[in-house]
Amino acid sequence: MNIRNVAIVAHVDHGKTTLVDRLLQQTAQDARVEIAERALDNNELERERGITILSKTTAVEHAGCRINIVDTPGHADFGGEVERILSMVDSVLLLVDAVEGPMPQTRFVTDKAFAAGLNPILVVNKIDRDAAQPHRVVDAVFDLFDQLGASEAQLDFPTVFASATLGVSGTDPDHLAPDMTPLLDAIVERVPPPNASLRGPFQMQVSALDYSPYVGVIGIGRVQRGELAPRAPVAVVDAAGRVRKGRVYSIHCNQGLARVELPQARAGDIVCLAGVEGVGVSDTICDPAAAEALPTLTVDEPTMTMTFCVNASPFAGREGKFITSRHLKSRLMREAAHNVALRVAETADPNRFEVSGRGELHLSVLIETMRREGFELAVSQPAVIFREADGKRLEPFESAAFEVQAGHQGALMEAVGQRKGEVQDIAAAGPGRTRIVCRIATRALIGFRAEFASLTSGSGVMTFASAGYGPFTHGLAARRQAGALISNATGKTVAYALFNLQDRGRLLVRPGIDVYEGMVVGMHSRGNDLTVNPLREKKLTNIRAAGSDENILLTPPTQLSLEQALQFINADELVEVTPKSIRVRKLLLKESQRRRA
């Protein structure tokens, strides 16, 4: 059977996963199989957040050709997922919104595809939107390709117009077919067959991992050379060049939402190998008689780091199952084995680990996943990773795109200016809305999401992608101007005490909640920290007087999510994460220790 290997890449929320749904629905071989919405996003966090976090593979058949499809994340923080799968495919479908046009992440994924020598197929999606301008978007994409130094073959890209929501596509936006056949035809005609040879010893690089409770870790990748039968012996060469022996238990391929067992793996196909113990991303699985490693998969270096600590608060061990440094180290090392954009380093303190990733969301998804698995841990304030070049200090920058109502443009421009952002483009983004693109230090965007939501009354959209490193930005203001209200005792909070603390700032806890000394219970209205007693009860006497009793009315407390807590804390604070609670605490719990520090 003819094979085509293609990845779908795009900016976040441009319709990749919905497009895959339509392709699966049209090519389903069994009419009884119902394809659910966002069928490939089977991770609990992905469904909750509405984004793709992990790259996933599937396959459809069209016109006698097997099309292997890789769905990739669109968020910049998960760019490593895009980079590591480009070695598996021979072309990319570049999805671009018919209204928004090329966005920051569009530039990033396109640049990576060009660096891998791939020729794109442009899919202008969402042409059913009222403000769609498909021809303008095609011109903007051509300009982007030219800026990225595309070759003649890459500039001669085919274009398909589509609406994944309606399930229509075509080469002319005014005359669309009622299904996805034009897009499937374009893939078969324009994506080259795999450049692989059946001759020679077997060789395959693992680009992704899956797990089954029955067969363990499953290595997914494209076969570069030769053939392999089930239960055959293999050699595994890791990134350091170490060779170990193994045996393949079974071979599967993707077919729609199912995995089908294969009698053998053949060159050019994307297959799933089970039974090879200890296999990791970037490992080469090959014939024992020819243990040749393929080039190691490389991704861009992390730009942000955090410290993961063993939870040492007075409430440690109350809610979690995994609380020791051994558990924490094992879990982080296991994550780093398949998350190629993540770096884990041990420190002089065995209870602390430096974890580096692509951004706040990249690291917070890991923390949330560990939390749901039953881990207790404490994490520090996110910090960017600086570099030195030619004696100058460099820091990471982002290309940020803000889409806001016209009435909020002035407030946003002022906020960007305060953060030393450089506005690069201002354009209309539909009736009454404006899109502002700027280059800004990553350090300036930490904690900005909540302020942006407040500035735009929740109607703004903020997206960003890496813009490389640049000279250190001087004069950036501190992230949090307000101080903290810190508990001076351990026990349950009392409504009477909280009522009297309301004038001091915004509370983070409600009555009847367990708190401990050194825990942050609110945000001070001033810039300094204030130690308070949230446990103080009203003194009761035998004497009653008219008007001496006040009616206790409490303002609902601010409930911080994990991302909000990470953005809120200062350098001398930690976020305590347990399966049931998210607390903010001081690094030094005792007031006397904080004064000496």
CB 577 within 8 A of CB 562: yes
Domain positions in the chain are 2-190, 203-286, 304-384, 387-471, 484-596
The domain covering 304-384 belongs, at the CATH homologous superfamily level, to Elongation Factor G (Translational Gtpase), domain 3 (3.30.70.870)
Identical fold between 2-190 and 203-286: no
CB 414 within 8 A of CB 423: no
CATH of 203-286, one of 3.40.1550.10, 2.40.30.10, 3.50.50.60, 3.90.1640.10: 2.40.30.10
* C-alpha–C-alpha distance, residues 406 and 433, integer Å: 5
* C-alpha–C-alpha distance, residues 520 and 569, integer Å: 10
The domain 2-190: what is its CATH number? 3.40.50.300
Mean pLDDT by 10 residues, the chain (597 residues): 87 82 77 55 70 81 88 78 84 91 85 88 91 91 91 92 91 91 93 87 88 82 91 89 90 84 89 87 90 83 91 92 93 85 91 91 91 94 90 90 89 90 86 88 84 84 84 78 90 92 91 94 91 88 61 85 89 93 94 87
Both structure tokens of 32? 């009884």
Nearest to residue 27, comparing CAs of 66, 55, 1? 66
Report pLDDT for 53. 75
Residue 401: CB partners within 8 Å, gap ≥ 6?
A: 103, 104, 435, 436, 437, 462, 463, 464
* Terminal Cα-to-Cα distance of the chain (whole angstroms): 70
Report pLDDT for 35. 58
CATH topology of domain 387-471: Alpha-Beta Plaits (3.30.70)
Report pLDDT for 462. 85
537 burial level (CB within 10 Å; 0-12, 13-18, 19+): exposed
The domain covering 484-596 belongs, at the CATH homologous superfamily level, to bipa protein (2.40.50.250)
CB 407 within 8 A of CB 482: no
Beta-carbon count within 10 A of 474 CB: 7
